[in-house]
Chain A
């Protein structure tokens, strides 16, 4: 869908020109916003339905193909070597964790498009900002089809000039008032998804089955460009566990499942880095982090992490509120 407001459906433009306003705020939030000088103008929405045809079964990036030749591993990729040599055709002699940048891009495109459409409606309504945003995403009939839906209430700041861009926030009402009082102005919502695919190496397989194994896996790779900040990266990467690093000297059971631990850590950190790239030097407030793990096939898993929150900018110096006074209520 084109970005231009001129391409909004005609019915939308006609409705937004109506003299009656609409709002998705609760009565409490509505009253609080009026008190702050925010005037609701329209209940705005954005939709986007995405199909991920390259995702899951039928993916060209199936086990056996080298993701390094594709676009994988933008921030993170790591390979795990088998210590056993050739054992058999079904032996997982190598394993990989890699960031699926194409999946992340598809999620970002879906969310971003729905967001832009919502902001487009707000712009058309002459709003300065959108508050009380609620975003949902759900699978439609097919597992490969996802609907992104954002709603919010477009508002005008009474007595202020229109900002360079419409500002947006998940907050509304008293929570927004407290944010302003604390010295932070919302800039925009920020959201990103990270997806890490895990192709188990033999030792990981043995550990997940609780079986005894020999040797230690060799690791290559890590977080590209994140090593200094995260402290995890490069060969070996700083992870250690029982059963690893012992060469081929005898059997071991248990121990840390290093490959999966690193995949889970990477998914969360990559999501944070994606959001960080969106917020610049501003602050991400009220972040929500959700993680999903699913098994695509035997020895083939995917860990996805969605991180979202409100990007806020400090407009005055650190100015703490008085320490709240504890109270005990008599009933």
Chain B
């Protein structure tokens, strides 16, 4: 079931909750063990958990996927074009980590993973990818899908996306490492006292950007998505090889659900709070 499909448990109408009475009711449960069949773990905040509940989903387990890929010796030596071995290593690491996250999600009967923290590191001889998130499912889930989704969207964004009729498909990822070619000795000397653009670095950045963005879009198409939201990029020279430019992009691949896009129509509100939020003694002299 996608989050945009009907069939989720109906949410109760807004009502004033007597928290004091609820607390008295809650403390009584401490005298008895839970009747849940199995415990669950989640790194969602209470706000995120409530947002997830409001669209009929619930957390199952905190899960992770890790992969480290070796980068061969010598690839960071000065050259030209793309540093293919480094690009491949980081891509493989992310793919393997996402695959493991998906496997673990399936093992707990999850429909997908939300709030995935994407931790990427590139060292001289290895590229590391660590993905940690919470496996989720609809509260009335019957059977998990064959291929759960992986999304780095927060539970809040996941719920909002569901309200708009869209569904996450997976993590889209692309990266590229490119050498900034050497300038000739003559060029270095002629530019030494000038304020000029170093086109070798600019071109390397553009080259890495294009390759990485294209790979990210291709990976989104591979999982059947029509676009990528919440794209994040990391770019710049490698700290241990300043002539090597890295561009990495990732985001959540999405597509419209079976009922298509739904307009959310947010309500426009105006805050009537006083602009001055704190008392300032100096204001008395104005």
Complex CA gap A120/B64 in Å reads 36
| Nearest chain A residue, comparing its CB with the CB of B59 | A283
B282 within 8 A of A: no
On chain B, the number of residues with a Cβ less than 8 Å from chain A's Cβ atoms is 83
List residues of chain B with CB within 8 A of the CB of A260: 68, 126
From A38, A291, A314, B34 is in contact (CB under 8 Å) with: A314
Chosen A-B contacts, 16 in total, with CB atoms closer than 8 Å, are: A36-B20, A37-B19, A229-B107, A243-B70, A256-B68, A256-B92, A261-B66, A279-B39, A282-B34, A283-B39, A285-B44, A286-B46, A289-B132, A309-B41, A320-B9, A320-B11
* CB <8 Å contact, B31 and A163: yes
A313 and B29 contact, Cβ closer than 8 Å, known pairs A182-B50, A182-B53, A275-B41 = yes
List residues of chain B with CB within 8 A of the CB of A87: none
From A128, A272, A309, A318, B27 is in contact (CB under 8 Å) with: A128
List residues of chain A with CB within 8 A of the CB of B46: 171, 175, 178-179, 182, 285-286
* CB <8 Å contact, A185 and B268: no
* CB <8 Å contact, A321 and B11: yes
Complex CA gap A242/B45 in Å reads 38
From A165, A261, A288, A314, B68 is in contact (CB under 8 Å) with: A261
* CB <8 Å contact, A288 and B43: yes
* CB <8 Å contact, A180 and B22: yes
Complex CA gap A35/B22 in Å reads 12
List residues of chain A with CB within 8 A of the CB of B92: 242, 256
B residues at A contact (CB < 8 Å):
9, 11-14, 17, 19-20, 22-31, 33-34, 36-47, 49-51, 53-56, 58, 61-62, 64-75, 85, 88-89, 92-93, 96, 100, 103-104, 106-108, 124-126, 130, 132, 139, 159-160, 163, 264-271
A231 and B23 contact, Cβ closer than 8 Å, known pairs A256-B96, A322-B12 = no
* CB <8 Å contact, A254 and B30: no
Stretch at the interface among A21-29, A72-80, A206-214: A206-214
Binary per-residue interface labels of chain A (196-218) against chain B in the complex, 1 for a CB within 8 Å, 0 otherwise = 00000000000111111000000
Q: How far is the CB of B135 from chain A (nearest CB, A)?
A: 12
